Structure 1
Amino acid sequence: MTPVRMERIAVVAPEDALRRALALVADAGVVDVDRTDDELETIADAAVRRESVAAVAGWCPAQERPGLAAALAEVGAAAVPLPVPRGVDPPSLLRADGPVRRSFTPLITTYGTVPYQDVDPTVLAGAAYVLMFGMMFGDAGQGLLLVAVGLLLRAGWPRRLARWRSAWPFVLGAGVASTAFGVLYGEFFGPTGVVPVLWLDPLDDPVELLSAGVAAGAVLLAAAYAVAIVNRWREGGPRLAVYAASGVAGAALFLGIAGIAGGLLLGADLLVVAAAVIAVAGLVLAGVGFAAASGGGAAGWVQAAVELFDIVIRTGSNLVSFARLAAFGLVHAAIGSVVWLGTTALASGGGVGIAAAVLVFLLGNALAFSLEALVAAIQALRLEFYELFSRVFEIEGRPFRPWHGEAR
């Protein structure tokens, strides 16, 4: 759950062996060398020299240093561990052990670089994305098509899509989630009756589906706050973790607002009162944090008041934003229903009508599959970035950029 552990090292070599040592470093491709240029000669010229010994500093994954040291020993050089400079964060490299992590990593790297001290949320983010996509694209038949696409990608077929092969766990997971929600909705290429409704029919129970979407969003937001609290603690200690808007203060406000909404919905007065107390506590903590960040004084508290109003509005709107999980699920179900109604109406005429019905069914589902899959993918990404990642990440790290052999 953390980026790959980095070590600060110095590649130390006799002056006459420095270029050979740097060539080995470049071939290994495991050191982020301190450099302003990728040319070997430029890096060698910038090396620190003491008498007949030269050194070049950089960052290396801890598990790679022994192998690098063994290779350098062949030319009389060494990879020497150094203390981490104060105030300097190591570069970040996300773990890529296994196909699932490799498939989900682009979700994180597209948004930004995970700070070295933060939690690596790759697996959690991938699971959240798959869940949200499945809820919006709930159709067992179309979900099985996505499963088939994922399996084909894994097999490396067709060859022209070979560059997307690493995405097969992502596509397969989205297909499984869509299939599962399709079974819950009773959707199999629309309301064909092939699978029974195990939970609810989106078009018959839209309010319940909307409530479920918001509830799912509340769970995802709570998980995001949990990760964010850990990140704030690692970034700035317990004080930042408590007073930050994405820390304990923000989490308390969120839980309070969610509890008030739930209490009003259930008619539980005691829950409403308890949730209000938690929300007020969160507001007080956040207000102190905002005032301290703005320098204190009257102007600081005025700014804190404005930011408190903003955080209340944003927290409520972020929670309600997850209603789109249900809204787009309803749209998908509505399109499937229209296609199926048209199919059955044409088929009832017999003869040419049956052929037309088959054509409508195939084309309608192809259109629904392509458009709705794209919409669900975009909306899930939007929720991931704006509602979840905006809490998890507050600062950006520096990516690990190893110096490779082709740079010579």
Structure 2
Amino acid sequence: MSWSEAVRPVRMQRVAIVAPYETLRETLVRIAEAGNVEIDRIEDPAHATPGPAARRLQRLRTEPPYALLCVAPPDLDDLERAGRTDLLAGEAQLEERIGSAVRRGAVAALAGWCPAAEVRATAARLADVGGVLVPMRTPGGTDPPTLLRDTGAVRGSFSPLVRTYGTVPYADIDPTMPAGIVYVVMFGVMFGDAGHGALLLLTALLLYLGRPRRLAPLRRLWPFVAGAGLTSTAAGVAYGELFGPTGVLPVLWLDPLEQPMRLLAAAVGLGVALLALAYGAGIVNRWREGGPANALCAASGVAGAVLFLGFAVLAGGVLAGRTGLALGGAVLAFAGLALAGSGLFTASAGGVGGAVQTGVQLFDVVVRIGSNVVSFARLAAFGLTHAALGEIVWRGTTGLAGKGAVALLGAVVVFTVGNALAFALEALVAGVQALRLEFYELFSRVFETQGRPFRPWHVPVQHMEVAS
């Protein structure tokens, strides 16, 4: 797979399922078993007239645990008497698809979508029953459904981040890997403690081993948890934190409580770098969605990136006391505003109302850039909170130590319970705040629209005969 294919959704192919009407059922059964074709529905199932299988299923008044299909057409009355709601549910779904077929004489056809790499193999499954899977051109103005790759342990563990936000538009890049890396880095900055990071690594190991068994459904998340543990451990080593300021580790970079402003500046600097990357991804997406003109004038495209760069250069010039640099930044910012304004005005109704609307939207763009940059200060704020909690627990521990056996026992309890509380509280807070920064500050620039998820029709097939 080329790198260009790896950073975009799975390529989809518009297809037609064509078969003699007398073998349409067999053809659709094989499509359902393959589970890689999304079939267009002509009629909304909620308003469709129920077929024979659906009516029998309604009479049983029980929800089937799952749907199942038979290779050969079963006797529906036998299924109803036997209470086989699973097979009735499968036949009801089959009736809906057959009802959506377009029939011309003895031939029936349905349209849908299939991953391009699977079209040939799927067509081969249909050949011996007279069915064919015909590739077609994508209709104008129609976006294919989106299917993201989740192959591989790391990509699979990061994919819930993107899916929780929404469906990636088909034309856009797939941000799964960079989004996961950015998340665990931000989490580690806020959760910087080598001891707590080691506990996360232990948790990842237990998930990988499937222990305890009730957490086995979360096993696929072990790389995500391991990544958070690695970044937290690295940040803890940089801060000199091991279950708090115990003095076991030397401070390699800075002590959060001693140098909060330096940590704050580093957090904002990291935010500026991440926003720049988000603008880069936004430019690529706007180009793919609407061409170069859209990429140039979009507030999340070149126009927004130039405005952001202009403000950054302007701020740098002011802080450094360099007038020329500040003037250059102001010119860049004005150019970005002009580009964004032209795009917003073109998208409006025009006239005085359009001009007012454009002004309000430009003001919002400017305010958002400032607020988003400042928002990354929370990386430092919650990193300080974590360090402060560790300091409190460690002071309580050392205050009790050396004052007798009872006090020593109390010190152990304070150290253990205090670290457990700090771990639980800060893991929750850092996880939520990293998610917030990812969604609101970064993804809001990467995505402007939502795509439609690929929902293939998949029903398991029972190859044995159904007993009467």
TM-score of the superposition, structure 1-length normalised?
Answer: 0.97
Structure having the higher Rg? 2
* Structure 2 CA distance for aligned equivalents of residues 301 and 96 of structure 1: 45
Q: Which SS does the other structure have where 1:203 is aligned?
A: coil
1:87 partnered with 2:141: yes
> CA offsets per residue over residues 240-274 of structure 1, 9 Å max, x none?
11111111111111111122223333333333222
| 1:268-283 alignment runs, 5 A limit | 268-283=322-337
| Greater Cα offset, 1-10 or 36-45 | 36-45
* Structure 2 CA distance for aligned equivalents of residues 142 and 361 of structure 1: 13
Aligned counterpart, 2:32 = 26
Amino acid at match of 1:77: G
1:119 partnered with 2:166: no
| Greater Cα offset, 101-110 or 270-279 | 270-279
Q: Which of the numbers 15, 23, 31 marks the counterpart of 1:17?
A: 23
Q: Which of the numbers 242, 246, 266 marks the counterpart of 1:192?
A: 246
> CA offsets per residue over residues 353-401 of structure 1, 9 Å max, x none?
1111111000000000000000000000011111111111111100000
Aligned counterpart, 2:124 = 70
Aligned counterpart, 1:352 = 406
1:179 partnered with 2:185: no
Is the 8 Å Cα contact of residues 39 and 407 (structure 1) preserved in structure 2?
Answer: no
Is the 8 Å Cα contact of residues 256 and 276 (structure 1) preserved in structure 2?
Answer: yes
> CA offsets per residue over residues 320-364 of structure 1, 9 Å max, x none?
000000000000000000000110111131321111111100000
1:142 partnered with 2:215: no
Is the 8 Å Cα contact of residues 33 and 461 (structure 2) preserved in structure 1?
Answer: no
Aligned counterpart, 1:46 = 100
Aligned counterpart, 2:381 = 327
| 1:246-325 alignment runs, 5 A limit | 246-325=300-379
Aligned counterpart, 1:225 = 279
* Structure 2 CA distance for aligned equivalents of residues 225 and 214 of structure 1: 16
* Structure 2 CA distance for aligned equivalents of residues 197 and 123 of structure 1: 31
Aligned counterpart, 2:224 = 170
> CA offsets per residue over residues 172-212 of structure 1, 9 Å max, x none?
00000100111111111000111111110000000010111
Amino acid at match of 2:18: V
* Structure 2 CA distance for aligned equivalents of residues 350 and 210 of structure 1: 41
1:208 partnered with 2:214: no
Q: Measured at CA, do residues 407 and 231 of structure 1 come closer, stay the same or move farther in structure 2, by a change above 3 Å?
A: farther
* Structure 2 CA distance for aligned equivalents of residues 149 and 344 of structure 1: 28
Q: Which SS does the other structure have where 2:113 is aligned?
A: strand
Q: State the aligned residue count.
A: 408
Q: Which SS does the other structure have where 1:79 is aligned?
A: strand
* Structure 2 CA distance for aligned equivalents of residues 266 and 407 of structure 1: 70
| 1:355-394 alignment runs, 5 A limit | 355-394=409-448
1:57 partnered with 2:63: no
* Structure 1 CA distance for aligned equivalents of residues 279 and 110 of structure 2: 41
Q: Which SS does the other structure have where 2:129 is aligned?
A: coil
Is the 8 Å Cα contact of residues 145 and 170 (structure 2) preserved in structure 1?
Answer: yes
Q: Which SS does the other structure have where 2:310 is aligned?
A: helix
* Structure 2 CA distance for aligned equivalents of residues 278 and 406 of structure 1: 59
Runs of 5+ unmatched residues, structure 1: none
* Structure 1 CA distance for aligned equivalents of residues 318 and 220 of structure 2: 46
* Structure 2 CA distance for aligned equivalents of residues 261 and 203 of structure 1: 27
Q: Which SS does the other structure have where 1:388 is aligned?
A: helix
Segments of 4+ moved more than 4 angstroms? none
TM-score of the superposition, structure 2-length normalised?
Answer: 0.85
* Structure 1 CA distance for aligned equivalents of residues 399 and 318 of structure 2: 45
| Greater Cα offset, 119-128 or 304-313 | 304-313
1:97 partnered with 2:151: yes
Identity of aligned residues (%): 62
> CA offsets per residue over residues 264-318 of structure 1, 9 Å max, x none?
3333333322221111110111111121111332332222122211211111011
Amino acid at match of 1:13: A
Q: Which SS does the other structure have where 2:147 is aligned?
A: coil
Q: Which of the numbers 156, 161, 165 marks the counterpart of 2:210?
A: 156
Q: Which SS does the other structure have where 1:260 is aligned?
A: helix
Amino acid at match of 1:19: R
* Structure 2 CA distance for aligned equivalents of residues 262 and 179 of structure 1: 32
Amino acid at match of 1:315: I
Amino acid at match of 1:34: D
Output the aligned Cα RMSD. 1.4
In the TM superposition, residue 406 of structure 1 has moved relative to its aligned partner by: 5.1
* Structure 2 CA distance for aligned equivalents of residues 17 and 113 of structure 1: 36
